[in-house]
Amino acid sequence: MILLKDIILILFFAIVIILLLSKLRIPPVIGFLITGVIIGPTALRLVESISEIEILAEIGIILLMFTIGLEFSLDKIKRMFKDFSFFGGLQVLFSWAVFSYLFYLYGLVLQAALLAGFIISLSSTAIVLKLLQDKDDLNSPAGLKMTSILLFQDAILIPAMIFIPFINQLSEVPPLTLALKIIIAFGSVVVIYFISKLILPKLFSFILKIGVTDLLMIAVFVFLFGVALLGHQLGVSLAMSAFVVGMAISGSDFAHQINTEILPSRHIFNSIFFISIGMFVDFSFVQIHISEIFLFTLVIVTVKILIILLLFTIAKNPINIGFMTAFGLAHVGEFSFILLNIAKDFTLLGPEIHQILLSSAIVSMFSIPLALQVGKKISGYEKFKTNMPVPDKNVNYSKHTIIAGFGVNGQNISRILKLLDIPYLIVEMNPATVKKYKSLGEPIYFANIDRRENMKLIGISQASLLVIAINDMDAAMRTVAMARKINPSLKIIVRVNYLPQVELLYNLGADLVLSQDMETSLIFINHILKFYNMPDHVARIQTNLLRKEHYRFFFKQESQESWKVAMLDYIEQDNEMFFISPHSKHISKKIIDLEPSNYEDVEIIGIIRNTKILTDSLKDLVIENYDTLIFCGNHAKVFEALTWMEENN
């Protein structure tokens, strides 16, 4: 009963604190940590069952690492391999080296300094990706850089969790014995991986085959906890064993289902885990060493920012993107708490440094939302943006199109413009893309489009059209506002991700804003209607009506909402053309002899012959080879007329 009372108490406090912090847009993980600090044994002392809560926290770690293993994507690493290896690898390496050196100067022995340095080299994957997603920055240049670095940090956990338990044995155990223990640990991980990969899919298939689906999650839990216990007996941490089991079945057909089923349990136990971490914070220690903790936090934030900016400078990547990336990762992440927990179990760090690291990590996590905003603000300053190289002076840029962003959209647009012999320039922020397409002869430049000097260099004042197809919404907004001021007659087309962003861009001066989610849904609808054999004109009407409804704020005259779709279908007019092939039965007939000429609500308004459109005395005109008849009228009747023409052709 005491444990039940404690669980109710800590979850109640967590709800209240998270609701309060949500007003400040502070992530729930920080709320759980603060809850633990407040109700812990050194603050309000509201929890009695400390040891039982620690057991629940261990379950939370196992479930957390298992689901991370399930979501671990080798395909994603392959797609980002260059940034993953360079930015991710060097960020961890440099941070680890600098922090280890600082801790060694602080007085820690070499093993403890190396461990502490590695622990605070990591950042929060969960919090950063969630904040980037909420701000629609996940696919921006800085968002992609942060994702690649965080992916490397997640990957480096695998060897780290194997090595950490052996750190305190470096100077105590003979090298051969230690090497043997590490080999056994690595071998255990490999064995766990292959056992999980071979047994679990077959077990799940058997359970589903006999139709007892309720057994699926029970089997998952039994296998997961059993393997975690076995790994622990072999010298591998519980967290590491759980991660490997998740990774082993991540590519199976059951991964998504298991992840969905385990999610509620994971959230409850994870919250208890983070609360228990907060409970380990010694409140009296924090009060005495508050200045030291804040100094540690400041050093952590500063060093991480400087290292990432250094990497951007070495790679000759845009420094404004570097600022947003650096500030976004200048903190200590949730995986550091897991490593601190492992270090505590193996008594690898002294109580004082453990408390300083734990407290500094929590303080640094508080800064994440603000740091991201500051980094984004700095990245928008003109002086930090990449200057564009001076374009070829021999080329006369006038009445040209400027393409900002050379992803799929930009590449398709450039192909069409090239076919039509319309001059264009491309501005792109990915150095690899610029290098690749410049070698193929594309007029592409590496620069920030939202920099006034760059706009002048690409001839924005003489351009006819600006197409903005970049993922950075803030940069897109700055570009529209700036371009409109420089060239009031310029036509501006912008692609955005979400419908709520459309009105913002129109208000800034865009001529056409296409919402990716809206346009995708309209394509879906169009294909669905065709699947059900709806005529093309019906599919077109329905999608146009939906488009008008969702973009209605842009139109001065809105259609009455009371009008039914059927009524709009009836009153709207349609123009369609029918081509007369050389073997058509309609050749040599007069227009008046065609049955559709007697239909109501549809008429033939012209014939395209050679390069002329004939409209006079149409009824007496005789149809010839290669004529094109123009039908006009109600959609349904036009479709009926075209159907008759085709059937009698």
Q: Burial of 506 by CB count in 10 Å (0-12 exposed, 13-18 middle, 19+ buried)?
A: middle
Tell me: the pLDDT tens digits for 496-516? 988 888 888 989 999 988 888
Q: What is the pTM of this model?
A: 0.73
Stretch 178-204: mean pLDDT: 85
Tell me: the pLDDT tens digits for 394-443? 455 788 999 999 988 899 999 999 888 889 999 998 888 888 999 998 99
- In three-state secondary structure terms, 500 is helix
Flag whether pLDDT at 562 surpasses 50: no
Q: How far, in Å, are 298, 331, 343, 359, 553 from residue 363 at the CA level?
A: 10, 9, 20, 6, 44
Flag whether pLDDT at 92 surpasses 80: yes
Q: How far, in Å, are 229, 299, 592, 603, 611 from residue 615 at the CA level?
A: 87, 81, 14, 12, 13
Stretch 545-559: mean pLDDT: 55
Flag whether pLDDT at 30 surpasses 90: no
pLDDT at 551: 61
Flag whether pLDDT at 131 surpasses 90: no
Fold entry, domain 2-379: Na+/H+ antiporter like fold (1.20.1530)
Tell me the CB-side half-sphere exposure of residue 549, using CA atoms within 13 A. Answer: 15
Stretch 566-581: mean pLDDT: 64
Q: 562 versus 14: which is more confidently predicted?
A: 14
Fold entry, domain 572-649: Alpha-Beta Plaits (3.30.70)
Tell me: the pLDDT tens digits for 534-543? 766 667 667 7
Q: Which two tokens stand for residue 337?
A: 């708490």
Flag whether pLDDT at 230 surpasses 70: yes
Flag whether pLDDT at 289 surpasses 80: yes
Tell me the CB-side half-sphere exposure of residue 34, using CA atoms within 13 A. Answer: 19
From CA 613, how far away is CA 165, in angstroms rounded? 85
Domain residue ranges of the chain, discontinuous segments joined by +: 2-379, 385-496, 572-649
pLDDT at 91: 96
Flag whether pLDDT at 25 surpasses 80: no
Tell me: the pLDDT tens digits for 45-58? 888 887 888 888 88
Q: Per mean pLDDT, which range of 21-30, 81-90, 132-141, 528-537 is the poorest?
A: 528-537
Flag whether pLDDT at 28 surpasses 90: no
pLDDT at 557: 44
pLDDT at 11: 85
pLDDT at 154: 87
How much of the chain exceeds pLDDT 70, in percent? 91
Stretch 466-487: mean pLDDT: 92
Q: Per mean pLDDT, which range of 212-216, 395-399, 567-571 is the poorest?
A: 567-571
pLDDT band with cut points at 50, 70 and 90 for residue 239? confident
From CA 627, how far away is CA 637, in angstroms rounded? 21
Stretch 158-177: mean pLDDT: 77
pLDDT at 102: 95
Q: Does domain 385-496 have CATH number 3.40.50.720?
A: yes
Q: 153 versus 398: which is more confidently predicted?
A: 153
